[in-house]
Amino acid sequence: MNKTRLLDGSLRIYTVLIFAFIFAPILFSVIFSFNSQRFPTIPLGEFSTEWYVKILNDPDIWEAALNSLIVSTCTAVLATFLGFCTAYSDYRYRFWLKGPYLALILLPPTIPLIIMALAMLAWLSKIGMSGQLYSVIIAHTVLTAPFAMAVIRLRLSHMDENLEAAAWNLGGSEWTTMRHVIVPFCKPAIISALCLTAAVSFDEFAVSWFVSGLNKTLPVAILEIVQGNIDPTVNAIGTFVFLISMTLIIVAQIFLVGRQIKGTE
């Protein structure tokens, strides 16, 4: 009894420490974003929203934020659509070379980002499609589609294998069954995949930096600010980016875990 309590306690402390280690830098970034001093030192200066006002008045940041928004939205939709198609083809069909087909789809996340980014740049410029906003969208879609597929595939694996046949049996053609049964069944996973892919795309730096050309996304803009000077606006932008990413991930988790359980009964 005492032993388990001790183990319990130490595990709890361990978990808290891990989270502290991960979140402390972010927490400090948030704190310093409200600090009036230019340099991040302790003791802190006065509370100030000066840096937020500054970024709100910076057209470059606005443009980068808009670019990020466009890129992550388009990426989310495209990657989720592709992810759904591949997950469904995996669920429904058996075909020759299915193993390699699945491996190919799941490959992108295993490639180091910097190599992926260089390869994307080389390829896109070769076919004359680099340096555009859509270049970033293409690259991010390749990068995030496997996540969408994994999430939707997990959901499909919980589906009663007779559900689709039951819909055909009641007079639904393959397409109407897709619309009225498969998509509604996968809805929580689809929403989750949309949030997840949007969050990954919104945060992604390496690939964006290589292929975006003059169309900076938010992470690229941050890098340009911190290169060569110390500017607390980075903390303000960072806080903003962190909030958006966290929101997307939390929404994704709610749909993935919470709704997943319901409906498989």
Partner 1 sequence: MSDDLVVFENVQKSFDDFVAVKEMNFTIGKGEFVAIMGPSGCGKTTTLRMLAGLETPTQGEIRLDGQVMNDVKPHERDTPMVWQSLALFPFLSARENVEFGLKMRGVDKAERKERALEWLEKLGILEFANRNVATLSGGQRQRVALARSLVMKPQILLLDEPLSALDAHLVIRMQAVLTQLQRELGITFVYVTHSQSEAFAMADRVVIMSNGEIDQVGTPKEIYRAPATRFVAEFVGRNNILTGTVAASSNGTSDITTPSGSFKVSADLTIGDDATFVVSADLVQVSPHKPDAENTVQCRLLSEEFVGSMVTMFLESSDGHEFKVQMQERALSEFDLKGGDEVWLDWSAAHSHIPGTP
23 touching partner 1, by CB under 8 A: no
**Strand locations in the chain (E):** none
Region for residue 82 given its phi and psi (left: phi exceeds 0; alpha: psi -120 to 50; beta: otherwise): alpha
CA angle, residues 180, 81, 210, in degrees to nearest 5 = 170
Number of residues this chain uses to bind partner 1 (CB under 8 A):
25
260 touching partner 1, by CB under 8 A: no
Site track 138-167 with partner 1 (rule: CB under 8 A), x = hit: ----------------------xxxx-xxx
Query: What are the phi and psi torsion angles at 41 (to 5°)?
Result: -125, 160
179 touching partner 1, by CB under 8 A: no
CA angle, residues 45, 58, 54, in degrees to nearest 5 = 15
Shortest Å distance, C-beta 196 to partner 1: 21
Q: What is the separation of C-alpha 17 from the centre of its chain, rounded to a whole number of angstroms?
A: 25
Shortest Å distance, C-beta 166 to partner 1: 4
Binding window for partner 1 (CB under 8 A); candidates: 14-22, 85-93, 169-177, 212-220: 169-177
DSSP 196: H
**Terminal C-alpha separation, the chain:** 36
Shortest Å distance, C-beta 122 to partner 1: 45
Contact 211, 128 (CB under 8 A): no
Which of 74, 105, 138, 181: binder of partner 1 (CB under 8 A)? 181
169 touching partner 1, by CB under 8 A: yes
46 touching partner 1, by CB under 8 A: no
Query: What are the phi and psi torsion angles at 35 (to 5°)?
Result: -100, 135
184 touching partner 1, by CB under 8 A: yes
Closer residue to partner 1, CB minimum distance, 104 or 166: 166
Closer residue to partner 1, CB minimum distance, 108 or 172: 172
Residue type present at position 77 = V
DSSP 173: -
Residue ranges that bind partner 1, judged by CB under 8 A: 160-163, 165-174, 176-177, 180-181, 184-185, 187, 262-265
